[in-house]
């Protein structure tokens, strides 16, 4: 059976009628606002995940919200991935050739996308950032950057700043990512949609069916990391930690990953990891949201041992399922996990191994942390909160620009 599109009212049982009414009230003066989001992949990674749910929820409160994806050949995405890595602190050789390809592909996308037909534009991450140069503004433009900007490469950042400053507002995920720029900066942490295939309740039979389907054994406790194949997620470190932990407890490791369409490095990393496979080290790449859900629910422990992490929706997703998460003590993970309360924060392979052992040995601790983890997500990291932050921002723009009074398209 085809489900229905999630409506704001569906959140009532989770957040209460008053909160739903408050959000509705904020949306009322914005009826008819026509906005578009642009990013660089329709699949794989947190941004696509967020956009697929948030664009629908915005429509459900009367804001005409679209979502477009830029196109580019592999050389373009290889450059933008290098830029992504550099914004997370790596070196980059920012040659004229790279700049030229980057700017030209975005120009071509601008020509074919007609963003001028909207009264607000939200551009996500650095890939489509220069789109703004090619339009006459018909309302505010917002740059929503999801990356961990704790320590961006200076040369690259200085190159991007003049373009960033053309925007009317910039949204980062955390205050720590604030930059020295003229543009007003806001900080919205991402959130999850609790009603999609990846997050909704599953029965024991459904979970078992999915795991059996992929031959995942459930006789021993499962240690699971689910992430794009990206070295910032440190899959190698997870395998090392697992190997240390299993000296003390019997368990099975499952690494499930995918490769986003804008990430040409992912498949090489996946290939290189395959050599680490063993009977109890399972490395998989399947596009199956129900499998993600089943693994996050059945895992004794979910690990997200990232080295950089803008926010980390995989952490939120697992916590929502009442599973304790051991997460790298960095970026957005620190805002979700309270160390020793609803999960553990770790900074090394040894520490990760120690926490895996402790959680596997102590079922009561797992249950207690899992309960608190779920409550943390209910209070802070469901999509209603994210929607409301956007509505507040749109409301502020509305008073300046009278967006809804502009001709509707």
Residues engaged in binding ligand UDP (CB under 6 A): 45-47, 49, 198, 226-228, 256-258, 289, 292, 311-314, 317
Task: Order the strands of the 252-258 sheet from edge to edge.
Answer: 281-284, 252-258, 222-228, 301-304, 325-328, 343-346
For the CB of residue 264, give the shortest distance to ligand UDP in the complex, in Å.
15
For the CB of residue 192, give the shortest distance to ligand UDP in the complex, in Å.
8
- Residue with token string 């329709």: 42
What span, in angstroms and rounded, lies between the C-alpha atoms of 22 and 7? Answer: 15
For the CB of residue 171, give the shortest distance to ligand UDP in the complex, in Å.
15
Q: Which is nearer to ligand UDP, 148 or 168 (CB)?
A: 148
Task: Check if the beta carbon of residue 321 is closer than 8 Å to that of residue 160.
Answer: no
For the CB of residue 220, give the shortest distance to ligand UDP in the complex, in Å.
22
CA atoms in the 13 A half-sphere facing the CB of 147: 25
Residue nearest to ligand UDP (CB): 46
Q: Which is nearer to ligand UDP, 140 or 312 (CB)?
A: 312
For the CB of residue 210, give the shortest distance to ligand UDP in the complex, in Å.
13
Q: Which is nearer to ligand UDP, 110 or 292 (CB)?
A: 292
Q: Which is nearer to ligand UDP, 33 or 123 (CB)?
A: 123
- Own/partner long-range contacts of 143-147 (Cβ < 8 Å, ≥24 apart): 143/167, 143/169, 143/170, 143/171, 143/183, 144/170, 144/171, 145/170, 145/171, 145/172, 145/173, 145/177, 146/46, 146/47, 146/173, 146/190, 146/310, 146/311, 147/84, 147/87, 147/88, 147/177, 147/310
What span, in angstroms and rounded, lies between the C-alpha atoms of 104 and 90? Answer: 24
Residue 58, both tokens? 């915005």
Q: Which is nearer to ligand UDP, 127 or 138 (CB)?
A: 127
Q: Which is nearer to ligand UDP, 65 or 314 (CB)?
A: 314
Q: Which is nearer to ligand UDP, 88 or 342 (CB)?
A: 88
What span, in angstroms and rounded, lies between the C-alpha atoms of 157 and 299? Answer: 39
What span, in angstroms and rounded, lies between the C-alpha atoms of 308 and 387? Answer: 25
173: CB partners within 8 A, 6+ apart: 145, 146, 187, 188, 189, 190, 310, 311, 331, 332
For the CB of residue 231, give the shortest distance to ligand UDP in the complex, in Å.
12
For the CB of residue 117, give the shortest distance to ligand UDP in the complex, in Å.
29
Q: Which is nearer to ligand UDP, 92 or 290 (CB)?
A: 290
For the CB of residue 331, give the shortest distance to ligand UDP in the complex, in Å.
10
């Amino acid at each position: 059976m085809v489900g229905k599109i999630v409506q704001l009212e569906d959140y009532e049982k989770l957040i209460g009628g008053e909160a739903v009414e408050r959000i509705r009230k904020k949306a009322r003066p914005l009826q008819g606002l026509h906005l578009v989001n642009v990013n660089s992949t329709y699949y794989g990674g947190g941004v696509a995940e967020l956009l697929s749910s948030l664009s629908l929820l915005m429509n459900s409160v009367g804001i005409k919200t679209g979502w477009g994806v830029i196109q580019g050949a592999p050389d373009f995405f290889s450059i933008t991935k290098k830029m992504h890595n550099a914004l997370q602190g790596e070196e980059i050789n920012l040659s004229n050739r790279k700049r030229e390809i980057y700017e030209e592909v975005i120009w071509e996308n601008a020509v074919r996308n007609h963003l001028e037909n909207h009264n607000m534009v939200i551009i996500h991450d650095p890939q489509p950032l220069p789109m703004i140069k090619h339009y006459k503004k018909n309302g505010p433009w917002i740059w929503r950057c999801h990356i961990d900007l704790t320590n961006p490469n200076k040369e690259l950042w200085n190159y991007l700043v003049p373009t960033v400053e053309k925007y009317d507002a910039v949204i980062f995920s955390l205050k720590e990512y604030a930059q020295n720029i003229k543009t007003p900066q806001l900080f919205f942490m991402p959130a999850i949609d609790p009603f999609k295939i990846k997050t909704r309740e599953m029965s024991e039979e459904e979970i078992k069916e999915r795991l059996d389907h992929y031959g995942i054994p459930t006789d021993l406790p499962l240690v699971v990391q689910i992430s794009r194949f990206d070295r910032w997620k440190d899959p190698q470190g997870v395998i090392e930690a697992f190997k240390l932990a299993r000296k003390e407890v019997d368990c099975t490791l499952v690494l499930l990953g995918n490769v986003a369409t804008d990430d040409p490095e992912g498949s090489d990393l996946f290939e290189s990891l395959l050599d680490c496979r063993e009977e109890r080290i399972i490395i998989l790449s399947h596009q199956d949201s129900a499998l993600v859900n089943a693994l996050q629910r059945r895992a004794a422990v979910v690990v997200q041992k990232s080295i950089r992490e803008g926010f980390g929706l995989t952490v939120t997703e697992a916590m929502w399922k009442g599973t304790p998460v051991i997460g790298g003590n960095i970026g957005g993970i620190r805002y979700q996990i309270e160390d020793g309360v609803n999960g553990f924060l770790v900074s090394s392979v040894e520490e990760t191994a120690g926490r895996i052992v402790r959680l596997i040995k102590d079922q009561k601790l797992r249950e207690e942390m899992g309960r608190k983890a779920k409550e943390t997500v209910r209070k802070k990291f469901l999509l209603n909160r994210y929607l409301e932050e956007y509505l507040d921002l749109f409301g502020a723009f509305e008073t300046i620009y009278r967006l809804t009074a502009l001709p509707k398209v």
